[in-house]
Amino acid sequence: MSTQLKILVGMIFTLLTCVPLGVIALNDLGHDLGAVPKNQATGMDQRAAAFDGRAIEVGADLFGQYCYPCHGKRGEGIPQVAPPINRKDLFDGRRAKEIGWAGSIAGMLKNTIAAGRAVQARPDLYSAKMPTWSQEYGGPLRPDQVDALVAFVLNWQAEAPEVNAWPPAGAPPPTRTPGPTATPGPTPTPAPTKAGLIAVCQNVPAPYAGKKAPFKFDDKAVLAAGKQIYDDKCAACHGPLGKADGPAAAALNPKPANLADKTFVQGMPVDCHFYVISEGVKGTGMAPWKSLGDDALWKVLIYERSFTGLQ
Amino acid sequence: MFERKASRNPLAAFGDKMGERLPAGLKNLVAVLGDLRTSEGRARLRQQSRETSFKVADDTLRAVSAGMGIADVRAMFRGDPPVEKPNPRYKVFTNAFFAHIRPRYYEKSSTKFTHTFGLGFLSALTFVVESVTGVILMVFYIPSQEHAYQSMIKIITEVPFGQLMRDIHRVGAELMVIFVALHMLRVYLTGSFKHPRQFTWVTGVILLILTLGLSYSGYLLPWDQLAYWAVTIGTSMAKSAPPKEIMGYISNLLLRGGDTIGQNGLLRFYLGHVILLPALAAILISVHYYRVSRLHGISLPAGEEESPDPAVRKAAKGRLDYLPEILTKELMWVAIGVFAMVAFAVFAFHAPLEHHADPFRTPLHTTAPWYFLWIQGMLKDPFVLPILRGIRDFLGVDLVQFYDSPAIQGVILPTVIFVILFAVPYIDEWWDRFWGRAPSRVGKNRKLGIAMGLMAVLLVILFSYFGTPLYAVSAPPAVEIGQEFMPEECVLPPVPLLPDNCGEVRRLGYANLPAGTYDLAQYGAAPANATRFQALLVNLQQAVQTQADHAKKSSTQGLADAQGFFIVEEWQTNLKKVTLRITWTPREKGDTGAYERIIYLHKDSAYE
């Protein structure tokens, strides 16, 4: 090949490279270049919308794992347990004004999910206490998961119904919002019963198998510390005495484990128990609580075991 | 009497008068101003300024090119012979720092495309492309657990050309591994590693390791599920380095920065990826190339080098000057290569981005990156273990216990393989000496070596296949159906040239999934002019039915009386909930007899 020909070919390909680059320029900078009308989405806008949509999908998945036991599958709330969140006044600013929140609605949601509610708004109406969900506050969710949940909750905004979630004291409590709540279908998923849990316990993986408690089972200080964490994080579903009768238990399917049931606890050796509270149980409402740290979990475990007296 | 000279410039006269008292520069300026007054003077000035500017340009170019003037550069690009003597095109290589590493000429036959396929050059090109795109990506990337994934989304959705940079960087990374591996294979097959180029081969193997390290360390940075678990699998091998309690513990700690990969591990991989490995690679590439170009030259085709005909040998060694032949050729290939990579990234490829990394959620069928699949395949081991078991059963020599450990299969064996790779040229030399043969690069004298090389390639491909989930891994049948039609992950945006891993349901998309509860039993066969949705239901039913049929024939496999339901619900504004529920009659203790896979689909998420 002669020198000139090589130079020519090189120049042609250099110019050709401008074609795909131009395609990207139109895609990414269509609005700035004036090539795409302002009311039309550029390729980059579509990508941004796709990731926003994806965050909502992730949020929906998390809501279906962690939030529905108290707030209902579609955020319609559960009387006596937790208020509806699919309701208009939450999104149009009325609720924010009521509680004196000066920031954005998204900020209010994020703050509530991440940090929980230190003080219950109306224990007479809703008995469950909003726990802290973000890992920053000792909960199980990462910050990006909290953001995804906010995106999902905010997606109710457009069609949220008007619900009076906060009737004055003495008035009859709000009833359940009508509408489809449970996933229809001929055969609902059977709850993983004791057999299911035993299956979990037959297969305790490596770091957990054979673990032993680092504390004594009758240590009063440990029991007191465990009770504190239990009441805060576990009692909403498992009940104050482990009888699976917490306010949120009603809505759960599968039902939470009855920690006061001797046969049940017998089928769950200590290492399996620790495994379950660390990693959670897939397909159930049981969340992984690993982020609390081994010490705290062992204390909770010892307190939970005190319901049956089994070690 | 004062005498006026008409022709004389009064200013010049003034200058004369001031005599030696004026500085020379000022005197010149005065002279120039005087010249401007006459046409003759102006012509002289024009001539002078032309000469001066040419001289300045020429000097500048000579300084930059370390020896070549304008006339010669011009002649060079026109393909003309050099205009000055001695040939200034050779001076460049002794005088200039950057050109110093290039040779004055290549030997003619070594530049034949079918001899080298330009693989070394292409490896270097991808390294440069990776460096440029990598630096641009670094501007927007934050190496922290909380922000890494978010900065990937930002690069894709907010930074103009950001997605393109990421795509090219990814394409370049894959190509670099491919080119480096093929380059090594070519060098092996043509016997170019033989004396005197043995140590060049060693630097090449180091570069192979650095390339793999660069690619692998970059794999973690997006901090998505794909990245997190591929790297978790890879680094888990370091954990079993013997002795486990010391080496395993230390290497795991050094790599991951903790028991599992977290913020420390991410930062380590990031710094390795952007500083340590590129710096080492740049140095090693320089050493490697210096040896190739200045010390030994690129090897000649063996047949020509060892030809009995002196004319052939002489012709092969004919000179092809770097300036201009090789330079223009390289520039041409740079233009073609960059075009190919950009066009591919724009029209045919997008780097995947899965969900945010989640240490609590192991995806089904996690694999290492494709270039490490062979190690994963060795861990599954379909060959050696059965052979060793056979030896144990028939001869009573038990090597199984010794061999069957991640330490042997995942660490020691790969290490041994790389040690052998380093030693290849020395083993080869020893082998020739052992048989008392003259070393030869010609294929017909190296039948054993070439056969072993090809065998090694076949084994790597075979073990890579064993490493994929296609081989000897399967989840319970219902889970596999869920994974096939509604996988956990779907790469976004769609990747046209990679196998579709989004599953039929996501590919059908939000708009094409009408709400309702569908009993799959009613979709045994596709109705005439079935919609895509009906076709999906039929496919689902067939998958479920296959398992039910399996169960009729076997008491352990399949799902007895399997039934499927497919449920689509309007869940929120622009959001649908899609449930696949499979129920069957449990046959074992602990079998729940039901499986549910739920995904949510948003209108904009654009999986179609």
> Does B161 contact A24 at a Cβ distance shorter than 8 Å?
yes
Q: Which of A4, A64, A192 is closest, CB to CB, to B79?
A: A4
Structure tokens at B355: 């969900």
Q: Residue B604: its chain A contacts at CB < 8 A?
A: 46, 49-50, 52-53
Residue ranges of B 315-344 with Cβ closer than 8 A to chain A: 324-325, 328-329, 331-332, 334-336, 338-339, 342-343
Q: Residue B142: CA atoms inside 13 Å, Cβ hemisphere, count?
A: 10
Grouping H, G, I as helix, E, B as strand and the rest as coil, residue B382 is coil
Structure tokens at B608: 């179609």
Q: What is the ipTM of this complex?
A: 0.85
Contacts for A131 with CB less than 8 Å, ≥ 6 apart: A116, A139, A232, A233, A236
Instruction: Give the model's confidence band at B19: pLDDT under 50 very low, under 70 low, under 90 confident, else very high.
Output: low
Neighbours of A215 (CB within 10 A): 16
> Does A60 contact B153 at a Cβ distance shorter than 8 Å?
no
Pick the residue of B228, B571, B576 with the most A CBs within 10 A to test the interface with A by mutation: B571
Grouping H, G, I as helix, E, B as strand and the rest as coil, residue B446 is coil
Structure tokens at B433: 């000496």
Q: Residue A30: its chain B contacts at CB < 8 A?
A: none
Contacts for A181 with CB less than 8 Å, ≥ 6 apart: A72, A73, A74, A76
Cα–Cα nearest to B299, from B110, B549, B145, B55? B110
- For tokens 């579903």, the residue is A237
Q: What is the mean pLDDT of chain B?
A: 88
Pick the residue of A45, A183, A289 with the most B CBs within 10 A to test the interface with B by mutation: A183
User: What pLDDT does A192 receive?
Assistant: 44
Q: Please tell me the least confidently modeled range out of A64-78, B151-165, B293-307, B377-391.
A: B377-391
Q: Is the pLDDT of residue A264 over 60?
A: yes
Instruction: Give the model's confidence band at B12: pLDDT under 50 very low, under 70 low, under 90 confident, else very high.
Output: low
> Does A189 contact B599 at a Cβ distance shorter than 8 Å?
no
For the segment A130-144, what is each residue's pLDDT rounded down to a tens digit?
888 998 888 889 999
3-state SS of chain B: helix, strand, coil percent to 5? 65, 5, 30
Cβ-based contacts under 8 A for chains A and B:
187
In whole angstroms, what is the distance from residue A51 CA to residue B149 CA?
12
Neighbours of B510 (CB within 10 A): 21
CB-based contact A133:A141 (threshold 8 Å): yes
Structure tokens at B80: 């003309």
Residue ranges of B 396-455 with Cβ closer than 8 A to chain A: none
Q: Which residue has the higher pLDDT, B264 or A254?
A: B264
Residues making up chain B, counted from first to last: 608
Residue ranges of B 2-41 with Cβ closer than 8 A to chain A: none
Q: Does residue A49 belong to the interface with chain B, where contact is any CB pair within 8 Å?
A: yes
Q: Is the pLDDT of residue B231 over 80?
A: yes
Instruction: Give the model's confidence band at A216: pLDDT under 50 very low, under 70 low, under 90 confident, else very high.
Output: confident
Cα–Cα nearest to B492, from B345, B346, B354? B354
CB-based contact B128:B313 (threshold 8 Å): no
Average pLDDT over residues B487-491: 82
Grouping H, G, I as helix, E, B as strand and the rest as coil, residue A233 is helix
Pick the residue of B165, B263, B328, B570 with the most A CBs within 10 A to test the interface with A by mutation: B328
For the segment B522-547, what is each residue's pLDDT rounded down to a tens digit?
888 777 777 889 999 999 999 999 99
- CA B314 → CA B77, B197, B305, B342, B373, distances in Å? 28, 21, 9, 41, 46
Average pLDDT over residues A282-291: 76
Q: Does residue A131 belong to the interface with chain B, where contact is any CB pair within 8 Å?
A: no
Instruction: Give the model's confidence band at B468: pLDDT under 50 very low, under 70 low, under 90 confident, else very high.
Output: confident
Torsion angle of alpha carbons B476, B478, B484, B488, nearest 10°? -80
> Does B596 contact A283 at a Cβ distance shorter than 8 Å?
yes
The most confident of the ranges A261-275, B5-19, B226-240, B559-573 is B559-573
Q: Which of B160, B332, B347 is closest, CB to CB, to A9?
A: B332
Q: Which of B571, B592, B596 is closest, CB to CB, to A60?
A: B571
The dihedrals phi and psi of B471, each to the nearest 5 degrees, come to -105, 120
> Which residues does residue B581 pair with via DSSP β-bridges, in sequence order?
B565, B596
Q: Does the predicted model carry a pTM greater than 0.80?
A: yes
Pick the residue of A9, A51, A277 with the most B CBs within 10 A to test the interface with B by mutation: A51
CB-based contact B92:B82 (threshold 8 Å): no
Residue ranges of A 133-172 with Cβ closer than 8 A to chain B: 142-145, 152, 155-159
Long-range (24+ apart) CB contacts under 8 A made by A128-132 are A128/A70, A128/A81, A128/A82, A128/A236, A128/A246, A128/A247, A128/A248, A129/A232, A129/A236, A130/A82, A131/A232, A131/A233, A131/A236
Q: Does residue A51 belong to the interface with chain B, where contact is any CB pair within 8 Å?
A: yes
Q: Does residue B161 belong to the interface with chain A, where contact is any CB pair within 8 Å?
A: yes
Q: What is the CA A267 to chain-centroid distance, rounded? A: 28
Contacts for A70 with CB less than 8 Å, ≥ 6 apart: A78, A81, A82, A128, A236, A247, A248, A251
Contacts for B417 with CB less than 8 Å, ≥ 6 apart: none
In whole angstroms, what is the distance from residue A298 CA to residue B110 CA?
70
DSSP annotation of A158 reads G
In terms of DSSP bridges, do strands B594-602 and B575-583 run parallel, antiparallel, or are they unpaired?
Answer: antiparallel
Q: Please tell me the least confidently modeled range out of A198-202, B99-103, B254-258, B373-377.
A: A198-202
Average pLDDT over residues B472-496: 77
> Does A7 contact B331 at a Cβ distance shorter than 8 Å?
yes
